[in-house]
Amino acid sequence: MKDLLGMRRRGGVGTVARVAVALLGGVALLTWFELPARSQTSQGGSSLPPVTVEAPAKQSARRAPTRRNDARVRSTARRVPQAPAVAVRSQSAVAPPFAGGQVAEGARLGLLGNTSTMKSPFSATSYTDKFVRDQQAATGADALILDPSVRSSHPTGGVVDSFNIRGFPINEGNNGEFAFEGLYGIAPTYRIFTDYVERIEVLKGPSAALSGMAPNGGVGGVINVVPKRAEEDLTRLTASYGSTARFGGHWDVARRYGDGKEWGVRASGSVRDGNTPIDRQSETTGVGSLALDYRGERFRSWLYLIAQTDRFDAPSRPFLMATGLQVPKAPDGRLNVTQPWEWSRITDQSALLRTEYDVSDQVTLFADVGGSKTNVERFFGLPTIVNNSGDTTSTPQYFGLSIDRTTYDGGVRARFDTGFVHHALAVQASVYHDALYRRLTNGTLVTSNIYNPSVAPTQFANEISGRPRLSDSELTGLSIADTLSVLDERVLLTLGVRRQGIEANNYLSNVGTLTSSYDKSAVTPVVGLVVRPVDNVSLYANYVEGLARGDVAPQTASNFGEVLQPYVAKQYEAGIKVDFGRVATTFSAFEISKASGELSAGRFAATAEQRVRGLEFNVFGELRPDVRILGGVSLLDGTLTKTAVAANVGNTPIGVPNVQANIGAEWDLPWMRDLTVNGAVIYTGRQFIDSANKQSIPEWTRLDLGARYITAINGKKTVFRANIQNVTGESYWSSVASFGTFFLGAPRTYLLSMTVDM
């Protein structure tokens, strides 16, 4: 039992050994990079052409940042003056941080590339590596905790990062919907670890014309990972601890080489291992990433390689609720109905090669190729709560899955003038392909209780060799977009369109024989307008569409096998952005509607429709040099506008709360110059788990607190961080997935780390 498929719980000695190996590996890697770096001759400057990201014009009245201690780097990151702009800008640059250093001044808008916040006709937020490190965020879900438009729809201690954005699900399937450098099919399928993240960006709302159709058909927004790359020389080592006994080591090394520093390399990785705060649960993760780049005068190229493994004993699982019963009170978040002999192993390998070539100062050609492989082996069940006493039933299932994905794209970006109108034109052709292979076998029924979990006799995974094909799909796209600007970019109009082709095949589970095929196409437009009456105020509006492949009629339908037309989601949005210098705010109003298929009178058809209207307010920056804030509120009005069940028309869709609110703040203590304290309050309103609105989980509020201390040890900058999540130990149901499963909130969790810049 203890060696069950190599997933036995590690002891303390083994944990310490693994951490030591991780740290020694980082030191060895540092030594390997340091030796050749010292042999480089010092140059007065780089031969690179200026590479910038458009940013709001600097206000002449803006006050210079106040530094309490010049020897250390505070979190009051200020805006960096722009280098002289060139006609064509590299789309692999990142926007500089806004005041406070927690978010950036711009984000990537798919085909439109990197765009400053004040010149964007969309709502997007880019969270910085500094914010991620200060939060001690290990995954993408942890990093997005303070975004009021986003809610994680999977539990802490689970095997997937899935989300609701503006009331619509993202990354709930097996195809993976995280974008990587703006491209699907590269990022790990289920979870993003922050070891390789420089920025994590959220573009809110549908974006088929900008980013292409999401592989699972998500329309609420796009989560884009901007990877770390070599900028300035860096050597950073971190040791971490998480309750109850989870230790980790992390390294991050960057160097630039060559007479003009045109060659760059950045390597980062981590090992974490041990028991989590959830009963009987342990997790082991290993992450390694390598970014190589060449930046010549006209030619630029980047190569990204990522490998990660994520292993759980007793992973947290969502719950189903028996029909006709009310959801019982949430148990203590530490309790775990998953059996200690249930487990999960997921490994990912990813690669992306990006290239850019400046034909002239006005025209740039680009091409990208990449892909990823995911291997999943797991043995666990999906518990159903069967009565008000909290009893559960679950049937463990062995799930062997292989996912292969590839992505190709290429195109041209050009800038030119027609009279007094300036154009920024982009044309892109893309191909995305995925193939899934799966084998399922079932164990025997297990019973337990959410308030008093029991341990059932051990079962073993009944693995059968071979994984028949489950599905494959190919998404092709041809896009064109033009941003027209006049009056020194006081008025910007974006027009774009994408023709999306969708080919898909589905195969009989565990057999591999073809059951249905799909070959459809659709055209999706985008229109965006920005008006800037003054430098620090932007009025914006957009109309944009999302796209999801139509469902295939199930065997129970009279039209079994019929493929529905692609579902089109439509968004109307308008808002205002104001940059006060140290603090920026965004206020927006939006409406998103999307059709879906359902079974009615024995026939399957696209007769259902969900609409979400919302108001969003976001704020970030510095109230003063030693006080920073980040957060906002999202008011959602979700409605089932069409459905075959007449009684459900007008009801609230599954998993859409009426309020999501977050506020986080940091304060550099005046009486202790190097100590910063922080706190965050997170609130989510009631959510329904059924379309009839008979079953729901209640509203909840969580408090997080933390502190960090910056000092120097032997002349090396050292940062100590301590965070407590769910300080009050609240027991709560946290979120609901689109198919009605719901999740237990995280228990009180302690996080400690020490980071040294060598």
Residue 296 within a domain: yes
Q: Which residues pair with 250 in a beta bridge?
A: 238, 270
pLDDT for res 93: 79
Indicate whether 567 and 648 sit together in one domain.
yes
* Residues 6 or more apart whose Cβ sits within 8 Å of residue 11: none
Q: Distance between CA 442 and CA 379 in Å, rounded?
A: 9
Indicate whether 193 and 254 sit together in one domain.
no
Q: What is the 3-state secondary structure (H, E, C) of 618-641?
A: EEEEEEECCEEEEEEEEEEEEEEE
The helix/strand/coil state of 13 is helix
- What count of other Cβ atoms lies within 10 Å of the Cβ of residue 624? 12
pLDDT for res 90: 61
Indicate whether 272 and 194 sit together in one domain.
no
CA–CA distance from 283 to each of 209, 268, 455, 577 (Å)? 39, 20, 19, 42
Q: Distance between CA 568 and CA 217 in Å, rounded?
A: 10
Handedness of CA 667, 669, 673, 679 (dihedral sign): negative
Lowest mean pLDDT of 140-144, 397-401, 561-565, 753-757, name the range: 561-565
The helix/strand/coil state of 541 is strand
**Res. 48: pLDDT tops 60:** no
Burial class, 36, CB count within 10 angstroms (exposed 0-12 / middle 13-18 / buried 19+)? exposed
CATH assignment of the domain containing 198? 2.170.130.10
Length of the chain: 758
pLDDT tens for residues 589-646? 999 999 988 888 888 888 899 999 999 999 999 999 999 999 999 999 999 999 989 9
The CA angle 578-581-586, to the nearest 5 degrees, is: 25
Give, for 125, the enclosing helix (H) or strand (E): strand 124-128
The helix/strand/coil state of 318 is coil
pLDDT for res 64: 39
**In this structure, are residues 569 and 219 in contact, taking their beta carbons and an 8 Å threshold?**
yes
Handedness of CA 616, 596, 401, 343 (dihedral sign): positive
Q: Distance between CA 99 and CA 80 in Å, rounded?
A: 10
**Res. 62: pLDDT tops 60:** no
Last residue of a domain, one of 175, 192, 225: 225
**In this structure, are residues 267 and 289 in contact, taking their beta carbons and an 8 Å threshold?**
yes
**Res. 5: pLDDT tops 50:** no
Indicate whether 605 and 574 sit together in one domain.
yes
Residue 88 within a domain: no
Tokens standing for 463? 């693995």
**In this structure, are residues 340 and 176 in contact, taking their beta carbons and an 8 Å threshold?**
no
Q: Distance between CA 248 and CA 751 in Å, rounded?
A: 11
**In this structure, are residues 337 and 448 in contact, taking their beta carbons and an 8 Å threshold?**
yes
Residue 39 within a domain: no
Give how far the C-alpha of residue 302 lies from the chain's centroid of Cα atoms, to the nearest Å: 21
Provide the phi-psi class of 537: left if phi over 0, else alpha when psi is between -120 and 50, else beta. beta
**Res. 684: pLDDT tops 80:** yes
Last residue of a domain, one of 225, 241, 271: 225
Q: What total number of domains does the chain contain?
A: 2
Q: Distance between CA 328 and CA 725 in Å, rounded?
A: 24
Residue 96 within a domain: no
Taking every pair of Cα atoms in the chain, the longest distance, rounded to a whole number of angstroms, is: 78
**Res. 15: pLDDT tops 80:** no
Over residues 345-364, mean pLDDT: 97
Indicate whether 267 and 124 sit together in one domain.
no
Indicate whether 208 and 314 sit together in one domain.
no
Q: Pairing relation of β-strands 687-688 and 675-684?
A: unpaired
pLDDT for res 91: 63
Give the CB-side neighbour count of residue 413, counting CA atoms within 13 A: 20
CATH assignment of the domain containing 256? 2.40.170.20
pLDDT for res 564: 81
Give, for 516, the enclosing helix (H) or strand (E): strand 514-534
**Which residue is listed with tokens 């965004």?**
586
Tokens standing for 208? 């088929």
DSSP code at position 35? H
Residue 80 within a domain: no
* Residues 6 or more apart whose Cβ sits within 8 Å of residue 570: 206, 543, 545, 546, 592, 593, 594
The radius of gyration computed from the CA coordinates of the chain, to the nearest angstrom, equals 25
pLDDT tens for residues 292-349? 999 999 999 999 999 999 999 999 999 999 999 999 999 999 999 999 999 999 999 9
Q: What percent of the chain has pLDDT over 90?
A: 78
Indicate whether 211 and 231 sit together in one domain.
no
pLDDT for res 17: 39
Last residue of a domain, one of 225, 255, 277: 225
**In this structure, are residues 665 and 627 in contact, taking their beta carbons and an 8 Å threshold?**
yes
Strands (E), 419-513: 421-442, 446-449, 469-486, 491-507
pLDDT for res 598: 87
Over residues 380-393, mean pLDDT: 97
**Res. 755: pLDDT tops 90:** yes
Residue 457 within a domain: yes
**In this structure, are residues 572 and 588 in contact, taking their beta carbons and an 8 Å threshold?**
no
**In this structure, are residues 573 and 205 in contact, taking their beta carbons and an 8 Å threshold?**
yes
**In this structure, are residues 423 and 363 in contact, taking their beta carbons and an 8 Å threshold?**
no
Find, among 90, 88, 113, the residue nearest to 481 by Cα: 113
Tokens standing for 6? 């190599």
Find, among 373, 366, 377, the residue nearest to 411 by Cα: 366
Indicate whether 284 and 235 sit together in one domain.
yes
**In this structure, are residues 281 and 316 in contact, taking their beta carbons and an 8 Å threshold?**
yes
Q: Distance between CA 329 and CA 672 in Å, rounded?
A: 43
Which residue segment(s) compose the domain that 112 sits in? 106-225
Find, among 335, 395, 250, the residue nearest to 757 by Cα: 250
Q: What is the 3-state secondary structure (H, E, C) of 684-722?
A: ECCEECCCCCCCEECCEEEEEEEEEEEEEECCEEEEEEE
pLDDT for res 40: 37
**In this structure, are residues 473 and 512 in contact, taking their beta carbons and an 8 Å threshold?**
no
Give, for 132, the enclosing helix (H) or strand (E): helix 129-135
Residue 6 within a domain: no
pLDDT for res 92: 67
pLDDT tens for residues 483-507? 999 999 999 999 999 999 999 998 9
**Res. 63: pLDDT tops 90:** no
**Res. 44: pLDDT tops 50:** no
Indicate whether 195 and 254 sit together in one domain.
no
Q: What percent of the chain has pLDDT over 70?
A: 88
CA–CA distance from 362 to each of 85, 88, 486, 536, 644 (Å)? 12, 6, 18, 28, 54
Indicate whether 296 and 173 sit together in one domain.
no
Find, among 149, 180, 137, the residue nearest to 636 by Cα: 149
Handedness of CA 228, 234, 235, 240 (dihedral sign): negative
pLDDT for res 518: 84
pLDDT for res 87: 36
Alpha helices by DSSP H, listed for 72-112, are none
Q: What is the side-by-side strand order in the sheet with 168-170? A: 150-152, 163-165, 168-170
DSSP code at position 38? H
Indicate whether 211 and 237 sit together in one domain.
no
Residue 3 within a domain: no
Indicate whether 221 and 345 sit together in one domain.
no
